Amino acid sequence: MNRRTEIKQHLLPYFLERLRQTGILRPSDPDKLVDSLRVHYFAPGQRIEQPTPCLFFLVHGLLKEYYRSKWRIHASSFVQLLAPDDLWIYDQHAYDFRTRALLPCWLLELPLYQLHYITHCPGTLKLWLEQLDMCYRSNHCLSSFLQEQSDKNERIQIFLEEYGPYVDYLSNHEIAHYAGLDHRQVEALRNRGVLYQPFNDGNILF
């Protein structure tokens, strides 16, 4: 058994448990599903380059989706963070933003043409994918939702409920632009963010 296979076997229980949590109690063809899964490691700062759409599961680490344009005064604009247990269809050509690792990341990938190993029922698979997509896209709208809130304390609270453990990975500009806050309010957000920090970093040891 090579090192990649060992790592996949280590990550596999997390993936199967996540499938159960999302309604797939038992894959239709578990052996072929396991064989089809690919393991990826991304170092901090490394961008994900995946030319074809696929199903991604983040087991460990932290990813940031962001816009970047040389024509902007502030070139980086935060879209959303992807944290452990996130499961989504990754299609880099469907959006203008980029995706890169903020922490060491371990991901499992399944090509779309092998999704039938999860379930052979087309209706069940379609509904499952729609639910995943709705969950994934919902945070793409969070910035607009926050800026519609007239109470800026409410904006801070909602932002922290979503990203409280990760505020140290975002710049003041990113937070201010995302949530419609000024510098003083961003500092207040950071001070309150201490309460959201996890007691451990959830490291996966290999």
With respect to residue 181, please indicate whether it lies within any of the assigned structural domains.
no
Residue 87 lies in a domain: yes
Q: Flag whether 187 is in a domain.
A: no
Q: Is residue 70 part of a domain?
A: yes
Total structural domains within the chain: 1
* Residue with token string 């409920």: 161
What is the β-pairing status of strands 63-68 and 98-101? antiparallel
23 inside domain: yes
What pLDDT does 70 receive?
59
Burial group, residue 105, by CB count within 10 angstroms (0-12, 13-18, 19+):
buried
Residue 18 lies in a domain: yes
Q: List the chain pLDDT tens, one digit each, 206 residues.
A: 678 889 999 999 999 999 999 999 999 999 999 999 999 999 999 999 888 999 999 999 999 999 876 555 544 589 999 999 999 999 988 888 899 999 999 999 999 999 999 999 999 999 999 999 999 999 999 999 999 999 999 999 999 999 999 999 999 999 999 999 999 999 999 999 888 876 554 455 45
Please state the pTM of the whole predicted model. 0.89
Say if CB 28 and CB 118 are below 8 A apart.
yes
The parent domain of residue 14 ranges over 3-120
Structure confidence at residue 69 (pLDDT): 63
Q: Residue 115 maps to which CATH number?
A: 2.60.120.10
- Is residue 80 assigned to a domain? yes
